[in-house]
Structure 1
C-alpha cells in the first residue's frame, strides 16, 4: 500500500498541493486524473521522492521514503517521468538494461540479461532491441521506456502520463500492456492519465484531484458519475454506458 498522510507542498502563498491524505491499495492500476494544474504529477513525483514534501509523510510498502536509502527505495519503487533525456544513441536493449542498475551496478549478469529479454519480449520489442532510440517512432520509444521501468522489478511502478504523444491505437496498446503487467507480474501501478475514459476502462481505482486536493477516490463505477465529473472538471459531463463500461462525454 502507498500512504500519503497530511502531505503538503507549497510553491507560493497562492499555489499549494495538499494537505493530501490518500491510501492507494496494493495491486492493480490506480489512475490519477483531474484537470490541468490539479496536482496529479506533483503527487506522483512526491511518492517517488523526486520532489521533497514540505510536510507530512509518504509510506510505500512499509518504507518511509523520506528516511529510506536510495538503493533500498530503488528496489521497491520505479518511476517514469514525462521528460526523458536519455542519449539517443542508446539501443533499446541498452535502455531497458538501465532498469537493472539498482541490482547490477552496471555490471550485468546472465540473470540480468534474462530479465531484460523477458521485458523486451513482454512489450513486443524483440525486433527493435538493436535499434537506437532516435530510430524509433514515439510509440515504440515509449514502450522501451516502460520496459525499462518494469525491468527494475519493483512492486510499485509510477508512470507520469505515459500516453502523451501517442495516438488512440498506441494508447490502447500501452494500457493493455500495463493492465497485463499488473496481473502477470503482480505490480501496483500508479499512473497519471489525461483521459478519464482510459482510466475508467483500464484502472482498478480512480483518484480524482482538483486544486491540489483529492476530490474523490474509488472504483470506476463510483467515480464515473455526471455530477461528480462535472464538479471536478468544471464542465458539463454526461456519463453513458459503452461496450466496455462507462464513458464520459463533454458538452
Structure 2
C-alpha cells in the first residue's frame, strides 16, 4: 500500500502538488491529467527522487522520507521520464544495476536469475551486449524498464514508460505490467498521456489537474465523458465496447 497524506511540493512560486491525499493498493493504477498537472512530481515524491514541503508518504508503512535508501529500494522501483547516464553501459550491465539494493556489486545466482528474467521479459536478448548509445530510443526505454523489473520490488513506478515505443512494444509492455500484477500481486503506478491505454489496461485511474487529485477510482467511474471534458478542457466522447471503453476527442 502506498499512502500519501497532505503532501505539498513547490517549485519556487509554483505549487506543483497541492495537499494531495491518496491510497494506492495492489493493481495497475494510471495517473492522467493535462501537462503541468503534477503527475510526474507526485510520482517522483513517492519514489524519493525529490523531497516534499509538507505531508507524509509511506510505502507498506515505511516513511519514505526517513527509511534507509537500500530498504526503500528493496520495496519500490521507479523509472523517471528522463534517463541519462554519465557512463557507457551495455544493456546487460544496466539491467544488473537493478540488483544493487539486494547485494551491492556482488552478483549471486538469484541476482543472475532476475537479470535474465528481466532481459527476456523485455525482449532484449538480441541487444544485451550492445551499449545503450548504440540502441534506438525504444530499445533504451525497454532496457531501463528491465532494470526496474530486475529490482524485484512489490511496487513499481513508471513515468511515461511508453515514450519512444512503437505500438507492438507499447502493447507488449502494458500486457507485461498486467502480468506482473496478476502473477506477483504488484502495485504498479504508471503516468500515461494516452487515455485509451489507461482505459484498456488500468484497474484504477488517478486524474490530476493543477496539482490536485480531482478523481480517483475504477476506470469506468473516472473515464467518463463529463470528467474527461472538464479535466482536459476538450470535448470527449466515451464509447462502450463491452469489456472496455474508447475515448474520442472532438
- Band of TM-score, shorter chain: over 0.9
Note the C-alpha offset of 1:115. Answer: 1.6
In structure 1, runs of 5+ residues without a counterpart are none
What is the root-mean-square deviation in Å for CA atoms of aligned residues? 1.5
In structure 2, runs of 5+ residues without a counterpart are none
What does residue range 34-113 of structure 1 map to in structure 2 within 5 Å? 34-87=33-86, 89-113=88-112
CA offsets, 1:112-164, max 9 Å, x none?
11221111112222222122212222222211111100111111111111111
What does residue range 155-234 of structure 1 map to in structure 2 within 5 Å? 155-234=154-233
CA offsets, 1:230-250, max 9 Å, x none?
111111111112475111111
TM-score of the aligned structures, taking structure 2 as reference length: 0.95
TM-score of the aligned structures, taking structure 1 as reference length: 0.94
Other structure's SS at 2:177 match? helix
What is aligned with 2:234?
Answer: 235
CA offsets, 1:45-77, max 9 Å, x none?
010111111001001111011111111111111
4+ residue runs over 4 A deviation: none
State how far apart, in whole Å, the 1-side matches of 2:126 and 2:38 are.
38
Other structure's SS at 1:17 match? strand
Other structure's SS at 1:176 match? helix
- Greater mean deviation of Cα atoms: 80-89 or 100-109: 80-89
State how far apart, in whole Å, the 2-side matches of 1:202 and 1:210 are.
22
Note the C-alpha offset of 1:211. Answer: 0.7
CA offsets, 1:16-44, max 9 Å, x none?
4210011111x221000000000000000
State how far apart, in whole Å, the 2-side matches of 1:59 and 1:186 are.
18
Query: How many residue pairs end up in the alignment?
Result: 250
Other structure's SS at 1:35 match? coil
Does residue 1:23 correspond to 2:23, yes or no?
A: yes
